[in-house]
Amino acid sequence: MGRRKKIVQECERLMDKPENIRNIAIAAHVDHGKTTLSDNLLAGAGMISDETAGQQLAMDTEEDEQERGITIDAANVSMTHEWNDKNHLINLIDTPGHVDFGGDVTRAMRAVDGALVVVDAVEGAMPQTETVLRQALREGVKPALFINKVDRLINELQEGPEEMQRRLLDVIDDVNELIRGMLEEEDYDWSVSVEDGTVAFGSALYKWGVSMPSMEETGISFGDIIEMERNDERQELHERTPLSDVVLDMVAEHFPNPLQAQPSRVPRIWRGDAESDLAHQMRDVEDEGDVVFMVTDIGMDPHAGEIATGRVFSGTIKKGQELFVSGTAGKNRVQSVGIFMGGEREELDRGVPAGNIAAVTGLRDAIAGSTVSSVEMTPFESIEHISEPVITKS
């Protein structure tokens, strides 16, 4: 059996175990390294070859994007990662890095429970860092921080361990200041910290990364990193502390699974009757309940036509179901359901249960933002477009 087939089978197995699922987005200011990091994760999960990670730009599915060098359409991919002796299904939604596409970023946030915010170590938090954080927190999505391009501190800025640490702490402080300014009083404390393990740093270009737990495990210090970067031992650094493992461990450990996330997310994004059966089914991630699917993106497939991507909040979405689409009359029939693997859609014979991200064809009346369901229901709250940062960094 081919490697891809094996990964698909494993994803199918894990789909039924919501406690092992993490739905995440990577969001960043343009050029801070979101695409390069995504490729690292795909390579780490065996989806693309290690050598091509960073060059292949697997998430940039449209030729146009590759030519322009910016990611304009949210692409999605499912991968598996072992953490704590258990395999996890990581559904990653890519988000556009360009500020004009703020609407797409917010839509992507609706489908996920954790946001990995990437910040360039040299540039620090920038206006779009603030925008994506605001979008995440507004949707009830938990942030974690990856400080990228640390190799530049060593090689371009020639910083020593103390200077480097000070700079990294400044970035963390700035990000936390933004987070605290955005949280409502009743929200959790979602500030990030090295000690908690919700911050990692590294180089997506050279494929190494560290976090507090990883440094404890590998024994690699800042001094070692500086020495290895300077001595051109990056390959060894990558092998000893691969970025994908460090980041995916952080994702598995610190982002909530759908069972933990949906009870607090559903009241935030849906204003229907909180005591209804449907509300309970959505909060409980009930895979045998009524089908509720929130469309976050519509893509085009040259063969299959329009593909609706989104989050299944309740029930199991299956081929042949006749589903209501909010704001339209009549029902649409599901033609196929599947998941995304390395930018390609993989149709599945089975249905996709609550807690997962699904790619669905046949929903011809759906648009990004539609609520698709087996019973007539109050649609999800409309997704607000936030494009302009309110405060800019001086």
| Distance of closest approach, residue 320 Cβ to ligand GDP, in angstroms | 38
Q: How far apart are the first and last CA of the chain?
A: 55
**Cβ count near 382 (within 10 Å):** 8
- 71 is a contact residue toward ligand GDP (CB under 6 A): yes
Question: Of all helices (H) and strands (E), which one includes residue 282?
Answer: helix 277-283
Residues from 126 through 145 that contact ligand GDP (CB under 6 A): none
- 30 is a contact residue toward ligand GDP (CB under 6 A): yes
- 210 is a contact residue toward ligand GDP (CB under 6 A): no
- 31 is a contact residue toward ligand GDP (CB under 6 A): yes
Of 106, 87, 48, 10, the closest CA to residue 368 belongs to 106
Question: Of all helices (H) and strands (E), which one includes residue 301?
Answer: strand 292-301
- 149 is a contact residue toward ligand GDP (CB under 6 A): yes
- 74 is a contact residue toward ligand GDP (CB under 6 A): no
| Distance of closest approach, residue 26 Cβ to ligand GDP, in angstroms | 9
**Closest to ligand GDP by CB, 12 or 31:** 31
| Distance of closest approach, residue 218 Cβ to ligand GDP, in angstroms | 19
Q: Rounded distance, CA 142 to CA 381, Å?
A: 19
**Cβ count near 118 (within 10 Å):** 26
- Specify the stretch interacting with ligand GDP by CB under 6 A; choose among 15-23, 26-34, 158-166, 294-302: 26-34
Residues from 170 through 209 that contact ligand GDP (CB under 6 A): 203-205
Work out whether the CA dihedral 378, 294, 360, 297 comes out positive or negative: positive
**Closest to ligand GDP by CB, 141 or 204:** 204
Looking only at the bridges linking them, the beta strands covering 21-28 and 114-120 are parallel
| Distance of closest approach, residue 362 Cβ to ligand GDP, in angstroms | 32
Q: Which of 20, 36, 241, 332 binds ligand GDP (CB under 6 A)?
A: 36
- 238 is a contact residue toward ligand GDP (CB under 6 A): no
**Closest to ligand GDP by CB, 35 or 314:** 35
The residue assigned the tokens 């051109």 is: 232
**Closest to ligand GDP by CB, 71 or 198:** 71
- Specify the stretch interacting with ligand GDP by CB under 6 A; choose among 32-40, 172-180, 245-253, 326-334: 32-40
- 343 is a contact residue toward ligand GDP (CB under 6 A): no
- Between vectors from CA 262 to CA 260 and to CA 266, what angle results, nearest 5°? 150
**Closest to ligand GDP by CB, 119 or 357:** 119
**Closest to ligand GDP by CB, 53 or 141:** 53
Q: Which of 14, 21, 23, 35 binds ligand GDP (CB under 6 A)?
A: 35
Token output for 352: 């996709």
* Per-residue CA distances from 307 to 77, 149, 368 (Å): 14, 35, 11
Q: Rounded distance, CA 28 to CA 14, Å?
A: 28
- 296 is a contact residue toward ligand GDP (CB under 6 A): no
The DSSP 8-state label assigned to residue 101 in this structure reads G
Q: Which strands, in side-by-side order, build the sheet including 331-333?
A: 331-333, 322-325, 371-373, 292-301, 305-314, 357-361, 336-341, 344-348
Kindly list the residues in this chain that would bind ligand GDP in the complex (CB under 6 A). Answer: 28, 30-36, 71, 97, 148-149, 151-152, 203-205
